[in-house]
Structure 1
Amino acid sequence: MAARRGRIGWAMFLFFLVMPVIEVIVIIMVGRRIGAWQTLGLLVLWSVVGAWLVKRQWRTAWRGLRTALQTGKMPARELTDAALVLIGGALLFLPGFVTDVLGLLLVLPFTRPLARPLLQAAVARRVLAGSGFAMQATETTYDSRPPHQQQDGRAAPGNAAGEEIIEGEIVDD
């Protein structure tokens, strides 16, 4: 596990080191081709269009998530879409053409399904590796006895003798 974190750490370090260099190179190339002011205008236009698109797609993803939760459906796809829109939005807000293209691919509804399996596989690997909720669920033991009763039927030490414990659930209407 430590080796994996080390590899991911190095990959992120290289990404954050190399990506700005690539962005500057691309911006200079575009600037030489169409001019400095046009390049600046194009970057600003990408930001405005990206912000509008992220806002629109976020609403759609949020609405889908709420609908799934209200119907009792497991919202795996909706959560993945919301995460991809969030990541894509962050990439769109970064200045540069390469991050804008990557962000656009994650935000657009017809290209998002291409990235969805990658994110789901990454999350599944993390969960199966023992991080997150899966580890907690495997360590929990389930017992049919009420939490205030020991194996021999006596009250648990935290329960003073004679205290009545009423089990139930709270329902918000």
Structure 2
Amino acid sequence: MRRAAILLPLVAVPILEIYLISRVGTAIGAGNTVLLLLAGVIAGALVIRYEGRRALRRLQNAMTENAGPHDTVAAVPGPATNRAAADAGLAIAGGVLLIIPGFISDALGLLCILPFTRPLVRRLIGGAVGSQVAKRTRFGAAVGEARRMQDQMRMHQPDGKVVQGEVITPDGAHIWQPGDNTPEPGPGRLTG
């Protein structure tokens, strides 16, 4: 049953694409249909080139903002990094769907690249993938536990905001402050 659910779209979508291309071809002519399909291929290549680069740049910026005290990326990415990664993936997937000849794939590609429909597609795919990961593996629980541990390791104000500052022991010895990224431990400094 599960294989039939996977194979049905793989067989049905190309048949629907051919049917739709033939219907459009009879309505506007074969030459215009070919030009429309070529326009989709060119648009997809441009989307991958420009929007993909821009989305990857946003992902890189979000990962740099998520860096810890030693300028290393945190073990568990934050929401901005996840959103930027999903946008980068959707932009590239949208470009690939536009390159594939057909009007259904073009419509799905446009849903992935348009700025006002991308958040909806991101939530839809994220919810489906997240529920499947949580159901089928222990990875979902491990990610949730890692995020809880990361949140516990940060200092928080009562309203939940992260407090930036230095760490001082009860006896007043300075342990760490932002900018202390020296690899060698000194007196009163934490290692690692």
Q: Is it true that 1:98 corresponds to 2:92 in the alignment?
A: no
1:1-173 to 2 correspondence within 5 Å? 7=2, 9-72=3-66, 74=78, 75-131=81-137, 133-134=139-140
Q: Pick closer, same or farther for the CA change 1:11–1:107 going to 2, 3 Å.
A: farther
TM-score under structure 1 normalisation? 0.69
Unpaired stretches in structure 2, ≥5 consecutive residues:
67-76, 145-190
Distance 2:138 2:92 in 1: 20
User: What's the CA shift string for 1:88-133, capped at 9, x where partnerless?
Assistant: 2221121101111111110122221121111110221123114373
Distance 1:84 1:137 in 2: 22
1:141 is matched with which residue? Answer: none
Offset at 1:87?
2.2
Moved over 4 A (4+): 135-138
Distance 1:107 1:137 in 2: 28
Offset at 1:53?
1.9
CA contact (8 A) 1:127 1:133 kept: yes
TM-score under structure 2 normalisation? 0.63
C-alpha RMSD of matched pairs (Å): 2.6
Secondary structure, aligned partner of 1:110: coil
Q: Pick closer, same or farther for the CA change 1:37–1:110 going to 2, 3 Å.
A: same
State the AA in 2 paired with 1:67: N
Percent of pairs with identical residues: 37
Q: Pick closer, same or farther for the CA change 1:133–1:86 going to 2, 3 Å.
A: farther
Q: Pick closer, same or farther for the CA change 1:79–1:137 going to 2, 3 Å.
A: closer
Q: Pick closer, same or farther for the CA change 1:134–1:16 going to 2, 3 Å.
A: same
Distance 1:102 1:137 in 2: 30
State the AA in 2 paired with 1:79: A
Offset at 1:136?
6.1
Unpaired stretches in structure 1, ≥5 consecutive residues:
1-5, 139-167
